[in-house]
Amino acid sequence: MPSFSSSTRDIPQVKEIPRHIAIIMDGNGRWAKQRMLPRAAGHKRGVEIVREVVKACVARNVEYLTLFAFSSENWRRPAEEVSMLKQLFIMALEREAEKLHRNGIRLRVVGDIAPFGKKIVELVARAEKLTRANESMTLTIAANYGGRWDLMQAMHRLIEANPEQRGGFTEEQLAGFLSMAYAPEPDLFIRTGGEQRISNFLLWQLAYSEFYFTDTLWPDFNSAALDKAIESYQQRERRFGRTSEQLELAGQAPLVKTELA
């Protein structure tokens, strides 16, 4: 398991293109409503946008793209919508796994997927196995994922793996059991659909991510909208608690020196 620098300890390497982008794809329902369509139509269009954004990220050399597809709280939606979302997930896994593989993309799914049923569990296992050696980008789908769930399962596994240890656990120890321990922390967090909240997404890993909120609904998001988010990211100075001068000394000058001041 590779170990990545921690944003609360080191100054992670900052590149012009975010290594890891995490997105809350929100607004499918409202997109459909605006068009007097059933919510399902928004979710279908949302899957097409996933395809476009995945392609755009590969083309821009993003190494990790993480998409929040279904939260641990989304079970509270009407049964009909939950079942429709499950169907879409099945269709996407069946249709896209091969294409992802052809494009050198590794697929990983995080979250407690057992409650989705045997079919999804099997399709996920098959797609993860098929794409496991791919290196052009890692696409992570968070399904029945919750940041609190992740911290709890990491804590349980940490204690189980260290039955003798009474206390003094470190951040690194815990981080090693999070479901995305295989990826660096997100550099850029995007939420579409106008809300400005985390909705129980990657609570631990967003500690020092740059946040970008847009009113654009997910079905209207496209590669140009992605570029706008990346441009905004490039204007930020990521200080990780330090001063600008310290960053310059560490060889991490701001990505783009802004002329605003």
Applying CB under 5 A, the residues found at the interface with Mg ion are 26
Q: With CB cut-offs between 5 and 8 Å by kind, which of Mg ion, ligand IPE, none does residue 197 bind? A: ligand IPE
Site residues (CB under 6 A) for ligand IPE, limited to 48-77: 68-71, 74
Residue 215 found at the interface with ligand IPE (CB under 6 A): no
Q: Which stretch binds ligand IPE (CB under 6 A): 21-29, 48-56, 114-122, 224-232?
A: 21-29
Q: How far is the CB of 90 from ligand IPE (least distance, A)?
A: 15
25 binding ligand IPE? (CB under 6 A)? yes
| Residue 74 falls in the annotated catalytic set | yes
Residue 141 beta carbon to Mg ion: minimum distance, rounded to whole angstroms: 17
> Is there a catalytic annotation at residue 61?
no
Give whichever of 22 and 100 is closer to ligand IPE, judged by the CB atom.
22
Dihedral of alpha carbons 85, 91, 97, 100, sign: negative
Which residues are CB-neighbours of 87 under 8 A, at least 6 positions away?
Answer: none
Among ligand IPE, Mg ion, none, residue 69 binds (CB under 5-8 Å by kind): ligand IPE
Collapsed DSSP state (helix, strand, coil) of residue 39: helix
Token digits of residue 182 = 């295989």
- Pair of tokens at residue 76: 């509270």
Residue 85 in contact with ligand IPE, rule: CB under 6 A: yes
Please give the Cα distance from 23 to 41 (Å, whole number): 20
Closest contact distance (angstroms) between CB of 131 and ligand IPE is 22
Give burial (CB, 10 Å; 0-12/13-18/19+) of 118. exposed
**Which is the catalytic residue, given 10, 28, 61, 74?**
74
What are the phi and psi torsion angles at 51 (to 5°)?
Answer: -55, -50
Residue type at position 200: N
Residues making up the chain, counted from first to last: 261
Interface with ligand IPE includes 24 (CB under 6 A)? Answer: yes
**From ligand IPE, Mg ion, none, interface partner of 68 (C-beta below 5 to 8 A by class):** ligand IPE
Identified binder of ligand IPE from the candidate list 27, 111, 146, 184, rule CB under 6 A: 27
x/- site string to ligand IPE, residues 171 to 200, per CB under 6 A?
----------------------x-x-x-x-
How far apart are alpha carbons 213 and 224 in whole angstroms?
Answer: 15
Q: Which is nearer to Mg ion, 184 or 193 (CB)?
A: 193
Residue among 88 and 121 whose Cβ is closer to Mg ion: 88
Cross-strand partners of 138: 64, 106
Q: Distance between the two ends of the chain, CA-based, in angstroms?
A: 43
CA dihedral 88, 89, 91, 95 (to 10 degrees): 130
Rank residues 26 and 150 by Cβ distance to Mg ion and give the closer one. 26
CB atoms within 10 A of CB 233: 24
Q: Which active-site residues does the annotation give?
A: 26, 74
